[in-house]
Amino acid sequence: MDIRIAPEPFDPQIEEAGFTAGRRDIGAVVSFTGVCRERTNGEGVGELFLDHYPGFTEKEIARIAADVAERSQCPEIKVVHRVGRLTPGEPIVLVVALSEHRANAFEAVRLLMDYLKTDAPLWKRETGPGGDRWIEPRAEDIARRAKADA
Amino acid sequence: MVKLVFLGKFRGEGRDDLAVPPNVMTLADLKDWLAHRDPALGEALAATRTHVVLNQELVHDMALPIGDGDEVAFLPPMSGG
């Protein structure tokens, strides 16, 4: 398990390559990268700020990842999450799961993203034409998380 | 001295530097004291999905005592990923 909070931009391909280097025992690498969008609901986003609680945020993401690793039977998980100021086009989050067969890695990545959206101690603030706005979790994210729980 | 941390939309100028008086002895006292000082903040914190973190542990029991050296954080609904 490899959990990291990144205050600076990161390259998902380099991160993934580092995680899989030298591994001959795995048959599946599944990764997801979330990227800062230029537009949200038709409105332009100039900048995104991701607030976090140092120490606690890392600890909670590690707890979520451990839980998902157990549920999906996929212990090899890497999470890199950006914090601070981001501009459109920059990666926000990378999740990589490695497993012998693909089903476990797919399941791990899907569950991780469902939980990270609603349970990771991170807070987004968008700066657009109308000024700054803190983002609340979307109803569909909460619904997806509830489904992941089932 | 109790250290306060406000995250996300709870952040506010000077809030993290507020000096908590010694008669604030529990988390519930602290919420009351904050609401009394700043009704808008009190209302925001009273919202159902505010999480309270005491010394880096998520807590639900507002009767827990707080005192010198403790860190209390107030977390709004999370919006990561």
pLDDT higher than threshold 90 for residue A130:
no
The pLDDT, as a whole number, for residue A29 is: 98
CB of B9 within 8 Å of any CB in chain A?
A: yes
Strand A2-6 versus strand A76-82 pairing type? parallel
Q: What number of CA atoms fall less than 13 Å from residue B16's CA on the CB side? A: 11
Measured between CB atoms, does B77 come within 8 Å of chain A?
Answer: yes
* DSSP category for residue B32: H
Residue B55 forms part of a structural domain? yes
CATH number at residue B62: 3.10.20.30
Q: Per the structure, how many domains does chain B have?
A: 1
The identity of residue A147, as a single letter, is: K
Question: Could you say which DSSP state residue B4 is in?
Answer: E
Residue A4 backbone phi and psi in degrees, to 5: -145, 135
Instruction: Give me the pLDDT at residue A41, please.
Output: 65
Asked whether residue B45 is domain-assigned, the answer is yes
Which pLDDT belongs to residue B81? 65
In a domain, B24, yes or no: yes
Mean pLDDT of B38-45: 90
Assess whether pLDDT exceeds 80 at residue B41. Answer: yes
Question: What distance in Å separates residue A113's CA from the closest CA in chain B?
Answer: 7
Cβ-based neighbours of B36, under 8 Å, separated by 6 or more: B42
B48 in any annotated domain: yes
Residue in A83, A85, A93, A123 with CA at minimum distance from that of residue A16: A93
Residue B81 maps to a domain: no
- CATH code for residues A2-149: 3.90.1170.40
Question: What angle in degrees, to the nearest 10, is found between the helix axes of A139-149 and A102-119?
Answer: 130
The ipTM value here is 0.90
Which residue did the predictor score with more confidence, A141 or A100?
Answer: A100
Q: What are the residue boundaries of the structural domains of chain A, listed by start?
A: 2-149
**In this model, does residue B37 exceed pLDDT 80?**
yes
| Predicted confidence (pLDDT) per residue in A10-54, tens digit | 999 999 999 999 999 999 999 999 999 887 666 676 889 999 999
Chain B interface test: which of A122, A133, A141, A144 (most B C-beta within 10 Å): A122
A83 CB-contact burial (10 Å; exposed 0-12 / middle 13-18 / buried 19+): buried
Within a domain: B46 = yes
Q: What is the pLDDT of residues A57-81, one digit of tens each?
A: 999 999 999 999 999 999 999 999 9
Residue B48 touches chain A, beta carbons under 8 Å: no
